[in-house]
Amino acid sequence: MTLAEMQFVVPELRIASAEIFVLAMACLTLLVDAFVKDKKRTVTYVLTQLALVGAAVATFATSSEQVSYTFSNMFVGDLMGDLLKYLVYISVIVGLFYSRAYILDRPEMAKGEFYVLSLFATLGMMVMISASHFLTVYIGIEMLSLSLYAMVALDRNSIASTEAGMKYFVLGALASGFLLYGMSMLYGATGTLEIPMLSERLFRGEGDFIVSFGLVFVIAGIAFKLGVVPFHMWIPDVYHGAPTAVTLFIASAPKLAAFAVVIRVLVNGLIFVSKDWQMMLIILSVLSMAVGNFAAIAQTNIKRMLAYSAISHMGFMLIGMSTGVFQGDPRFIVDAYSSSMFYVVTYVLASLGAFGTILLLSRAGFESDEISDFAGLNKRNSWYAAIMMMMMFSMAGIPFFVGFFAKFSVLQAAVASDQMWFAIAAIFFSLVGAYYYLRVVKVMYFDPPASTVPITATADVKLLLSVNGLAVALIGIFPNALMVLCATSLSRSITIF
């Protein structure tokens, strides 16, 4: 090796400026919080929100239509990554607004750790979104996962919260082992951990058998992060046991980051062995829709109901991912994968509104997490009942809310790839799922009020929740702009073109 080859190449830090900014702000917030005397942690909360706004500004300032690499091709900047990062920032900002009153009512949670962990989890999601190397994929996943383990168990006075944190940690460690083992198999077969380089070597037909073997473990690790059957065991217990503010966090932004990993690894890296992973995703999709929807019917706790609902929704998202390449024909790639991206975005939007309403009804010493707690909500506050109804209708896929067009787009992708049976199965499971969503609406509008306690909310939460509800309705009426945005960002970011 010559001296020139040994010289260190200075990475282009501009591409990762948003991540560097969030890391610096997370460390600053941690230090400042150590000196804060205010029990409300207002300074910590404001710094956290400013960090997210600053990250959005940094992402906008460095955004480019060109695909750029840095850190020895381990980190990529592209339109898809930028769009998903904006959505992550918005999700976390809105989630923190929704969670503020809930946290202040619970002294055991009203500490700086919640906000600092939120920033580190956001940083992990940003790294996952921009990862172009298996090492950065794993670093991002672990940074997010370790932060979430701690957040789930943050309420140390709650046995359910501690138990959920332990279950999540143990199962998450097992999934990480699967993912690492699969990555090692792919490295052994191709001799590279760079995702674009992996695609080139698979195109040349290197390591067929070992790649197929490692692919099973990679799919298992990713499936755990998505929360699809049969790697869904942690979802109901974590959603139920975690404080509702943490459940909202888990149910929203991490879904966007997990989708990005699916695109980076399976599409940009393993598209030339799509015949091997396509059938795996189809099986995961059908099982998730079946188990998620049927299990949700039996739930009386709304957080557990939404947990099983999340499993079924990730199954629907996989419809698009598993139909992008049909019998080796890549014509459907952009339409199919962008339909999955559109589905994830709209699900996160509806999930934020649903958990935001649950947080709104919760108060000191009371968790509004039973479906019966929503009884007569229309008589207590008709606007909040209308917002929750819009979230339920969207998740059920009822026209003309945004969830309907999300389901229609993935079904269209299945039909376009000549997998009509797949679309019919999805429609059947969607009809099953409509039952438990409509049950919540029935309880809100036709049952007598469960409580006469006034529903109070700050002006910012009222405004955001209203905007959230109207967005679900308006994007459902005018979905084209978001659909085009998803398709454009994906077409500029998929490296096989």
Residue scoring higher pLDDT (107 or 325): 107
CA contacts within 13 A on the Cβ side of 291? 20
Is the pLDDT reported for residue 56 higher than 50? yes
Is the pLDDT reported for residue 427 higher than 90? yes
Is the pLDDT reported for residue 330 higher than 70? no
Q: What is the pLDDT of residue 83?
A: 94
What confidence tens digit (pLDDT) does each residue in 75-102 have? 998 999 999 999 999 999 999 999 988 8
What confidence tens digit (pLDDT) does each residue in 204-228 have? 776 677 888 889 999 999 999 888 9
Q: How much is the pTM?
A: 0.93
The answer, yes or no, to whether the previous bond of 230 is cis (omega within 30 of 0) is yes
Check: CB of residue 288 under 8 Å from CB of residue 226: no
Mean pLDDT confidence for 381-397: 92
Q: What is the pLDDT of residue 50?
A: 95
Is the pLDDT reported for residue 47 higher than 80? yes
Is the pLDDT reported for residue 5 higher than 60? no
Is the pLDDT reported for residue 496 higher than 70? no
Residue scoring higher pLDDT (273 or 295): 295
Ranges 44-53, 197-206, 253-262: which has the least confidence: 197-206
Helices (H), 227-301: 234-241, 244-251, 253-262, 274-297
Phi-psi region of 167 (alpha: psi -120 to 50; beta: other; left: phi over 0): alpha
Percent of the chain with pLDDT over 70: 95
Q: What is the pLDDT of residue 324?
A: 74
253 Cβ contact list (under 8 Å, min separation 6): 87, 88, 91, 92, 95, 122, 125, 348
CB atoms within 10 A of CB 27: 13
Is the pLDDT reported for residue 112 higher than 70? yes
CA distance 490 to 79: 7
Q: Distances from the Cα of 269 to the Cαs of 195, 205, 250, in angstroms?
A: 5, 13, 27
Q: What is the pLDDT of residue 148?
A: 94
Q: Please give the single-letter amino acid code of residue 459.
A: A
Helix count (H) and strand count (E) of the chain? 21, 2
Is the pLDDT reported for residue 104 higher than 90? no
In the structure, what pLDDT confidence band is assigned to residue 1 with cuts at 50, 70 and 90? Answer: very low
The values of phi and psi at residue 193, to 5°, are -110, -5
Q: What is the pLDDT of residue 67?
A: 86
What confidence tens digit (pLDDT) does each residue in 449-493 have? 877 777 877 888 889 999 999 999 999 899 999 999 999 988 888
Q: Please give the single-letter amino acid code of residue 273.
A: V
Is the pLDDT reported for residue 286 higher than 70? yes
Residue scoring higher pLDDT (210 or 239): 239
Is the pLDDT reported for residue 246 higher than 90? yes
What confidence tens digit (pLDDT) does each residue in 341-350 have? 999 999 999 9
Per-residue DSSP letters for 45-68? HHHHHHHHHHHHHHHHHH--SS-E
Q: What is the pLDDT of residue 157?
A: 81
| Local structure of residue 69 (DSSP, 8 states) | E
Check: CB of residue 437 under 8 Å from CB of residue 393: yes
3-state helix, strand, coil in the chain (%, to 5): 75, 5, 20
Q: What is the pLDDT of residue 209?
A: 78
Is the pLDDT reported for residue 495 higher than 80? no
Mean pLDDT confidence for 435-441: 93
Whole-number average pLDDT of the chain: 88
* DSSP H or E run through 421: helix 420-446
Residue scoring higher pLDDT (331 or 418): 418
The values of phi and psi at residue 194, to 5°, are -75, 125
Check: CB of residue 18 under 8 Å from CB of residue 55: yes
Phi-psi region of 68 (alpha: psi -120 to 50; beta: other; left: phi over 0): beta
**What are the contacts of 473-480 at 24+ separation with CB within 8 A?**
473/390, 473/401, 473/402, 475/346, 475/349, 475/402, 476/394, 476/399, 476/400, 476/401, 476/402, 476/403, 476/404, 476/405, 477/400, 479/342, 479/402, 479/405
What confidence tens digit (pLDDT) does each residue in 62-74 have? 988 888 888 888 9
Is the pLDDT reported for residue 195 higher than 60? yes
Mean pLDDT confidence for 114-124: 94
CB atoms within 10 A of CB 61: 10
Check: CB of residue 391 under 8 Å from CB of residue 353: yes
